[in-house]
Amino acid sequence: MQPDKRTQTILDGFGTHFDGHATHLAIAPGRVNLIGEHTDYNDGFVLPVALDRDVRVLFRSRADRHVKLYALEFDTWADFEIGNRKPNRSQLWPNYVQGVGLELAELGVQMQGFEGVVSGNVPRGSGLSSSAALEIAAAKAFLTSAKQIHALTGPQLARAAQKAENEFVGVNCGIMDQFISTLGEEGHALLIDCRSLDYQRVPFPDGVSLVIGNTKASRSLAGSAYNERRAQCEDGVRRLKAALPEITALRDVNLEELEAHRSLLPSTVYRRCRHVVSENDRVHRTVEALERGDFRLVGQLMDASHGSLRDDYEVSSDALDKMVEAMRGHPGCLGARLTGAGFGGCAVALVQAGTEKEVREKVQEAYAKAMNLWPEVYISPPSSGARVLPLVSGGSDGRTLRG
């Protein structure tokens, strides 16, 4: 098939910066989480979907263990030997690629270098997981270059990318982002058990769609607050163990048990725990509602999730609340909530099919008026997970995509 406009731009970039032709295109999507927020690091359940926005790596293998990549949007280079454990201090993005290479080598992949061009249209800093998309696209490029594309299962690949971000980049993220980028499927959400890594593809009905609003507000508090919330959850588990010695994470606690033993918890810790425990319950109820086509209930559960994140977990913000309010202001919106770590970034709305553009216009008008800031609003169906497309002879630059 002929390359789309964006891929053609990447092909042109390869021709500018390298002699000859690329052989493969790795694509890995960003994600939006439908429901299940701050549950992943509590061994809980999440329900993300892959977006039709992605990171792409156009590449060819090398005969050595060297990686050389040019990033179109940054106009900068990554240049390192596989196995190099010294992070890049001058720019961040190469460390995601370098860290993934280290983790794949640790798993026994016979690594081979590659060179090429990186490009992404997942908005950076928005909470839609541009970093995980880069990690998974790079992992696919590494495995393809090593001729070991099937050496790891999807969960193994996601865990390797997560470990790279945790240990090499230094971001203490959960597994959800890498998992959905690897294993997403067009027309489906993905129910993930963040303890066992078991997963279930959940068909996303035709009668509803997703609208995502980027507040464009700073997420500068998200990192410190994330670590604080995580510590509060761990403190809650330690205290609850006095009455529930078998538990190892909040995933093991139900709402009745939490209420029965709330006297063991300081009030703030109790509210943090109440969000996580109730959110896990909302995830399962959302899956059941999607399966029977009860869109109204899905929307109500999303609304309840936002209220819990705002009041109990305290990770919303004025910008996110105004975005959610703007989304709910259109009758086609069935429910809306913040998505991601919070404080800034994005909210997601479930809307009736056919109203997406009207909701987008309503959000742009209402949010801009409330915040004096123009948002970005995306409409995206649940899309495919990571894949690698071979390039073959033909086309204006001598290459077309197979598959």
| Cβ contacts of 141 within 8 Å, gap of 6 or more | 24, 26, 57, 59, 114, 116, 388
Which H or E element spans position 378? strand 376-379
Which H or E element spans position 281? helix 267-291
CA distance 141 to 144: 5
Q: Give the three-class secondary structure for 71.
A: strand
Backbone angles phi, psi at 104, to 5 degrees: -65, -40
CB atoms under 10 Å from CB of 39, counted, come to 28
Candidate list 54, 177, 303, 312, residue with the active-site label = 177
CA 134 to chain CA mean position, Å: 11
Backbone angles phi, psi at 24, to 5 degrees: -145, 155
CB atoms under 10 Å from CB of 84, counted, come to 13
List, in sequence order, every residue forming a beta bridge with 27; answer none if it has no partner.
56, 387
Backbone angles phi, psi at 60, to 5 degrees: -145, 150
Helices H / strands E in the chain, number of each: 11, 13
CA distance 141 to 57: 7
CA distance 38 to 301: 16
177 is known as an active-site residue: yes
Token digits of residue 99: 């860290």
Cite the active site residues: 177
